[in-house]
Amino acid sequence: MMNSYSLVAEIPSTRLRNKTVVLARNLYNITGVVANVLTPHMLNPDAWNWGAKAGFFWAGTGALCAVWTYFRVPEPKGRTYAEMDMLFDAHTSARKFKETSVESFGSMTKLENDKVMSEKSTSDHVEEVGC
């Protein structure tokens, strides 16, 4: 099972990691407060009196979150922070993170529909400096 705390720390680009963790934690706290306010109203016979039907609401919410996660959260397994940054910079789709090949020194080769698209390597711009 996925651990959301590790994903929040691994997925964002290094430049935005601190802000992303803060925003994710605040959103987690806000949704916790909303859920803890709504659930008693759903279950209370003197309020909305949904009873067990409240499960349908939470199942629908969970399904929507699962669909969003499938399309928007990339797979970080086996990727370094530098590779993740390069994939984000190239605007790679979350579903293509797993199959996109990232080479060292900033060159990226992306295999998509039997076409090979390459970006210019940043190593071409490195100058040798003598000591």
Q: How far is CA 92 from CA 28, 105, 125, in A?
A: 26, 18, 23
pLDDT at 103: 78
Encoded amino acid at 64, one letter: L
Range of the domain at 109: 81-125
pLDDT at 104: 62
Same domain, 68 and 12: yes
Same domain, 9 and 57: yes
Residues in the chain: 131
> How do the pLDDT tens digits run along the chain, 131 residues long?
456 777 888 888 888 889 999 999 999 999 999 999 999 999 999 999 999 999 999 999 999 999 999 999 998 888 888 888 888 888 999 999 888 888 766 555 554 433 445 544 444 444 555 55
Burial of 108 (0-12, 13-18, 19+ CB in 10 A): buried
pLDDT at 112: 45
Residue written as tokens 């076409």? 115
pLDDT at 14: 84
Q: How far is CA 22 from CA 11, 18, 30, 36, 54, in A?
A: 14, 6, 12, 21, 30
Same domain, 96 and 55: no
What pTM did the predictor assign? 0.69
* Domain assignment of residue 130, yes or no: no
